[in-house]
Amino acid sequence: MSNHTAVASETSRVFHFILEELKPRGPWLTPFNVISIPIILTGLVILYFRFRYGLGAVTNLSQGHPWGLWMGFDVVTGVALAGGAYVITFAVYVMRVDKYQSIVRATVLNGFLAYCFYGGALLFDLGRPWHAMNPYIGNNFGYASVLFLICWHFALYMVAAFVEFSPVIAEWLNLEKARRFLKNITLATVILGVTLSLLHQSGLGALFLMAEPKIHPLWWSQFTPVLFFVSSIYAGLSMIIFEGTISHKAFSHLIAPKNHHAFDDIVFGLAKGAAITMFVYYVFKALLFIHEKQWDLINTVWGYWYLVEVIGFVLIPAFMFAFGHRHRSLNIIKTAAIMALLGIVLNRLNVSIIAYGWYEAVRYYPSWQEIIVTLMVICAEIWLFRWVVNRMPVFSASH
């Protein structure tokens, strides 16, 4: 058999295999499907009107508030919640902490899908989405623009995350040579991915440096890039605990028994890392507050709101993580993870929406259409995650 014939035969095999895998599996009338399908269909209808008649037809955006829920949650918050991928790959492949090996594939997949969906949602928020390539080529922005750097870091990290996950795809397609090659370049890709993550997580914070007059002083700082980076670490760890807990129940039939038993120990390790990072973040916030002499701002409505975020969703979860790790309490750790995630969402929305233009009489509130589209993005990501883990060896080392 000639090489050409062999390649054609292999291509045909892979093509028919993928077609077979596209067929649905399991029952359709699950609780998640019943809830998510109407949301996705409604969201698609809203997007039709958005692209047909413009942002004003479905959003409450304006010239004063050009960034709304789609930017504040889908992009600024979503990227932070996907931080677990670069944290775990750094721990496993660079620091050689092998006990987290069993969750690498699922974590990288979750991070990659988050970047794809939340980054893709940026097109919804752009008034002229066909100009989305302008930041990449420096058109109207310049090569020294923060946006130019973030866009390239973001795109390159998506490529790096895909390469990190690609050995799983090659294993799924039974392409052994491709799998070995991709596995050999994993370490270099992880180092590149971690570097890019450090740059674009902090770069998102740098976007707000030029908005000092518009952001409430309690949420603006010249160290916002550092705060964004540090908070993305514990956000990623908390998301792994939250997502992993759900996955170990929903996909228990795909997970080896030894990995089931090892997951509790993994959660305790993640909780320790989250507690340390949250205490570091809190110390940074406290030092900045004292240095800026913002005591007079605390006894205001905005000051009380600031305390809710910093104490209620940073300091308290940090102590809960530490207590749960010390006393081996999974329930406390899981509760702390949910609180930490809510704190990240609150912080990012405060910076980008709530405390942005805080002095204005007319405030921005997301329309119901914006909320539905955001829920649509989340549901679509879960659908694709579920499809992948039910077919590819994500929770196991082999088919």
> Cβ contacts of residue 276 below 8 Å, gap of 6+?
none
Residue extents of the structural domains in the chain: 39-389
Under DSSP, is residue 315 helix (H, G, I), strand (E, B) or coil? helix
pLDDT tens track for 323-339: 999 999 999 999 999 99
Which CATH code for domain 39-389? Answer: 1.20.1630.10
Determine contact, residues 45/119, Cβ cutoff 8 Å.
no
pLDDT (0 to 100) of residue 399: 45
Amino acid at 31: P
Kind and range of the H or E element at 278? helix 257-291
User: For 304-332, what is the mean pLDDT?
Assistant: 96
pLDDT tens track for 56-68: 999 998 887 888 9
The mean predicted confidence, pLDDT, of the chain is 89
SS3 content of the chain, % helix, strand, coil (to 5): 75, 0, 20
Q: For the stretch 39-63, what's the b/e string if a residue is b when 16 or more beta carbons lie within 10 angstroms of its beta carbon? A: bbebbeebbeebeeeebeebbbbee
What does the alpha-carbon distance between residue 62 and residue 42 come to, in Å, rounded to a whole number? Answer: 24
Q: What are the angstrom distances between the C-alpha of 274 and each of 106, 209, 367? A: 19, 26, 34
Q: What are the angstrom distances between the C-alpha of 280 and each of 259, 319, 343? A: 31, 12, 15
Q: Residue 397 — very low, low, confident or very high, per pLDDT cuts 50/70/90?
A: low
The percentage of residues in the chain with a pLDDT greater than 70, rounded to a whole number, is 94
User: For 382-396, what is the mean pLDDT?
Assistant: 90
Its pTM stands at 0.91
Backbone angles phi, psi at 356, to 5 degrees: -85, 120
